[in-house]
Amino acid sequence: MRVLFVCLGNICRSPTAEGVFRQRLSAAGLETQVTVDSAGTGDWHVGKAPDRRTTLAAQRRSYDLSTLRARQFVAEDFQRFDLILAMDTSNLRDVQALRPANATAETDLFLRRYQLALDEVPDPYYGGEDGFEQVLDLVEQASDALLDEIRRRL
């Protein structure tokens, strides 16, 4: 099972999802059975570590994002992953636009897939500190639901 999280810059929401979900997998002893990565539809931050506000908010909840580096989503990701989970509808649209004819991956909105209170993870980049806490709250809930799904599918 291979899961890819996608947002716009790959420095706030999708690295948070990668870090939180890796922790969930590790706690469940499933880290060797599931491949996890994240990517951004845009290329502005390629090679950079996550946003400092994202890293600090995650650190306060004991998630270590320090080794992550941003990369851009590419069409080949449709073969490299089984499940591509976008943070908002604009990210999902940008991903779908690159879908090759032979694509095998399933695509979905991360929150909508699990019928959480919101359908999208709001972009925290231009907002205040509470936006980063909200990203963590939503991503933690969805990661628990994703772990349940993966347990059923393995």
Binding stretches for ligand 4NP (CB under 6 A): 7-13, 40, 44, 123, 125
Comparison of 77 and 123: residue with beta carbon closer to ligand 4NP: 123
Answer whether 121's CB lies under 8 Å from 13's CB: yes
Query: Which of 51, 77, 88, 123 is an active site residue?
Result: 123
Nearest to 140 by CA among 49, 63, 53: 63
Answer whether 55's CB lies under 8 Å from 80's CB: no
The answer to whether 13 is a known catalytic residue is yes
Query: Which of 12, 13, 51, 53 is an active site residue?
Result: 13
The answer to whether 24 is a known catalytic residue is no
Write down the least CB distance from residue 130 to ligand 4NP, Å: 15
Comparison of 119 and 148: residue with beta carbon closer to ligand 4NP: 119
Answer whether 107's CB lies under 8 Å from 95's CB: yes
Write down the least CB distance from residue 80 to ligand 4NP, Å: 20
Answer whether 146's CB lies under 8 Å from 4's CB: no
Residue 36's SS3 state is strand
Would you please indicate which residues are annotated as catalytic (active-site) residues?
7, 13, 123
